[in-house]
A and B are shown apart, each in its own frame.
Chain A
Amino acid sequence: MTIKNTEILFTEAFQENKDKIFRICRSYCDNKEDAEDLFQEVLINIWKSLPSFKEQSSINTWIYRITVNLCLRTRHFSSKKKKIVIHVDGVELENTEEEITEDKNEEFKKLEACVEKLDGINKSIVLLYLEDLSYKKISEITGLSENHVAVKIKRIKNKLLHCLKNKS
């Protein structure tokens, strides 16, 4: 893949998914700064790995795979060793914290609190589901079968609904 092709592929895919990627990153972080670092890490890794993208799955699925894997690793499976973080130009984040606190409705806050209670894996699956990805895509991202994904989502949804009911 030439650099030009990489650029085109990246720009299109990133424009389409940037907000979803950030929302997933944000869900795995306690504060905006960490979310920004994680988002940049995801971005860099997508760019670096693009030349090896094989088109066996769709580019969007592939991007979510990288996002979920890096979120899991950063938040749950990495040591406390200080990482080298780079911030690239051309990517700016709006003042999300203000928007979160001002715009959030009550129900969303409850849902967020319930999602927060889930473990890392279930959280990633339900976030993909809430981002409106099909079971097939979630199965391609996670490596689980479609049926397995369906069963897991049903279980997680029940947990979330139960949690929401308790909070009401």
Chain B
Amino acid sequence: MKEKLKLVYESVTFKDWVRFDAKKFSGNIEKKLADFNRDIILRDLREAAVAIILFIIYCYQIIFSDLSISQTVSSWVMLFACVFIVAIMYWGRSIGKEIHTLPTIEFLRMQRKYLVRQRNLLSNVLFWYMGPLLISYLIGAWDQFSPYFSQNESWIVKSGGLVAISIVLSFLIGFSIVIYILNKKAAKSVQVIIDEVDRAMKEFEE
């Protein structure tokens, strides 16, 4: 005999809510999926757009420009940074294919792993994102400003160079602080979701 709860649940006539036309569906689904995959690729490309543009500019510079040693080093560091940043971003997202087909408890564990990875990336944005870019930029800036400090230059030129360096450094430090604060804030919001998953896992296993 069916239990009361099930009888109550089944008492409401909500059968055949969904009309399914198999022919229409299968004739259309692959095209829709292809469009969907294209949208995802475009979104990923948009996110990596800055890195791609920088990569092209610095490649061009290395191949076609007559660069000093420090400029060459700076360009190579920038190329490395572009590839490294995009690779880290993709690594952060990849936690195995089709985890939604796993039993729920396994799914929750994988979901947690993914969220922890995202949180750590946000918290450490200074090291993997800003760091390589700043190193490249500082090497390049040194190349620009070093002539100001040669022995032949007057103290006025030297002080001008110092002021210019201070302005650039202040801007870079300020920019880094803003990026760091924004990412810390984002990491906190991810932590809220991690706590929720933890609670769910605890309730699940109780």
Q: Footprint of B on A, CB under 8 Å?
A: 7, 11, 14-15, 18-19, 21-23, 39, 44-45, 47-49, 52-53, 62, 65-66, 68-70, 72-73, 76-79, 84, 86, 88-94, 96, 99-100, 103-105, 107-108, 111, 119-122, 124, 129-130, 132, 140-144, 157, 160-161
Contact = CB atoms under 8 A, between A and B. Distances in A.
Interface in B159-206: 189-190, 193, 196-197, 199-200, 203-204
Contacts of A53: 101
Interface string B14-47: 1111111111111111001101100110010000
B123 to A, nearest CB: 16
Given A52-B97, A84-B36, 20 more contacts: A44-B33, A49-B98, A62-B101, A66-B100, A69-B100, A69-B101, A70-B100, A79-B189, A79-B193, A86-B33, A89-B27, A90-B20, A93-B18, A99-B13, A105-B11, A108-B8, A111-B5, A111-B8, A119-B200, A143-B104
B104 A142 contact: yes
A68 B111 CA distance: 14
Nearest to B39: A84
B204 A142 contact: yes
Interface residues of B, number: 55
B104 A18 contact: no
A77 B193 contact: yes
B156 interface: no
Contact of B9 (A45, A108, A124): A108
B12 interface: yes
Contacts of B11: 105, 107-108
Contact of B32 (A88, A93, A132, A141): A88
A49 B13 CA distance: 31
Contacts of B99: 69
B102 interface: yes
A68 B103 CA distance: 9
B101 A22 contact: no
